[in-house]
Amino acid sequence: MDYPKFKAAAVLASPIFLDREATTEKACKIIEEAAQNGAELVALPETFIPSYPWWVWMGINNVKRGELFRRLFDNAVEVPSETTDALCNCCKKNNIMAVVGINELGGTTIYNTQLFISRKGVIMGKHRKLMPSGEEKTVWGWGDGSDLKVYDTEFGKIGGLICYEHSMCLSKYALFAMGEQIHVACWPGANFKSQPRDRNKIQDAAIRDITFEGQVFCISSCSLCSEEEVNIYIELDPSNEGILEPGGGWAGIVDPMGNYVAGPLTNEEGIVYGEIDLAKIIPVKHMVDSIGHYARPDVFTLRLNHSKNVPFELVGSPIIQEEVIVENDEVQEEEV
């Protein structure tokens, strides 16, 4: 049996704060650079276009929060749109597959979305974050099970999750059960000081754990905060000084045994490259196959609701009125 082997790229980069066009241009340059260095699959950070809304975790008054949300809304990405066309054309031109984190505008709601783009420049699909974490619920809507999918590509079966979705055991298992071999993890990164946790250690633990649980490769991409973005928050409210510092982030590629084959890279922009050889999954499956011989469907089963949740559904056929011409040339309505 032939197993795909190829070079992948994980990105650590900062967006151009709340600027869709400029950040899209930067994303395309990153994709092009990855391709020029031999990568055939590249992962970009969570909500890279146009930014992660760090302000939801800060002491900023409601008026200024509203202004920031308006800017985010105005710079969010519709699918499809000129923004996605630019990303697709870049992938096609450079013969590279990309997974890009965007703030997706769906109707009048913003979603935290992973966009999967093929080497031919075709949008294969998208995944909306199922559950925004904490204060993120003031910015993003909820995803649903309709786009929790694995894509069958020339590189293998590829799926992905966003940030703390990696704490949702059943989301991970659903992807494993659909045959996932390559997992793309997208995160926001920063030197964020107001929470009692080490974000880098959490990301490290999460991406190494998912490779062990699912016997998959993981490409993990993350953003970091630029000095410009940090200064914007301090200008909005001087009490934010010291809460957020430039840098942060954690990016790398991990094999099915939990070992880094690239990175980790932290605290500075860059791209790390690593070889993904799907043949290396097989000996790990010999020990643990979480959806095969190491599963116990007689004890545990998972039910995935793969339908799309919609707030409005039209049931039944409406009554149709048609005009009927009578002999005296008067128009009457007849119910049909």
- DSSP single-letter state for residue 58: S
pLDDT of residue 11: 98
In a domain, 238, yes or no: yes
Work out the pLDDT band at 336, boundaries 50, 70, 90. very low
In a domain, 79, yes or no: yes
Dump strand ranges (E) for 137-269. Answer: 151-153, 156-162, 182-187, 191-192, 217-223, 244-245, 251-254, 260-265
Work out the pLDDT band at 39, boundaries 50, 70, 90. very high
Residue % of the chain over a pLDDT of 70? 95
Which candidate, 63, 48, 61, places its Cα nearest to that of 17?
A: 48
What value does the mean pLDDT of the chain take?
A: 93
Give the residue-averaged pLDDT of 176-180.
98
In a domain, 134, yes or no: yes
Which candidate, 228, 119, 206, 17, places its Cα nearest to that of 26?
A: 17
pLDDT tens, residue by residue, 274-329: 999 999 999 999 999 999 999 999 999 999 999 998 888 888 877 666 665 555 55
Q: Which helix (H) or strand (E) holds 90?
A: helix 82-94
In a domain, 320, yes or no: no
Note if 46 is an active site residue.
yes
Rounded CA-CA distance 141/149 in Å is: 19
Note if 163 is an active site residue.
yes
pLDDT of residue 195: 74
Residue among 88, 90, 91, 163 flagged as catalytic:
163
- DSSP single-letter state for residue 129: -
User: Who contacts 283 (Cβ-Cβ below 8 Å, separation ≥6)?
Assistant: none
Rounded CA-CA distance 58/65 in Å is: 10
Distances (CA, A) of 66 to 60, 72, 138, 229: 10, 10, 10, 17
In a domain, 330, yes or no: no
Which residue range(s) make up the domain with 214? 5-287
Distances (CA, A) of 63 to 67, 72, 105, 228, 259: 6, 14, 22, 22, 46
pLDDT tens, residue by residue, 230-248: 999 999 999 889 888 999 9
Residue among 40, 46, 136, 229 flagged as catalytic:
46
Residue 179 reports pLDDT greater than 90: yes
In a domain, 310, yes or no: no
Q: How many domains does the chain have?
A: 1
In a domain, 323, yes or no: no
Residue among 26, 129, 149, 157 flagged as catalytic:
129
pLDDT tens, residue by residue, 96-127: 999 999 999 999 999 999 999 999 999 999 99
Note if 90 is an active site residue.
no
For residue 86, what is the domain's CATH number? 3.60.110.10
The model carries a pTM of: 0.92
pLDDT tens, residue by residue, 130-176: 999 999 999 999 999 999 999 999 999 999 999 999 999 999 999 99
pLDDT of residue 316: 84
pLDDT of residue 7: 98
In a domain, 204, yes or no: yes
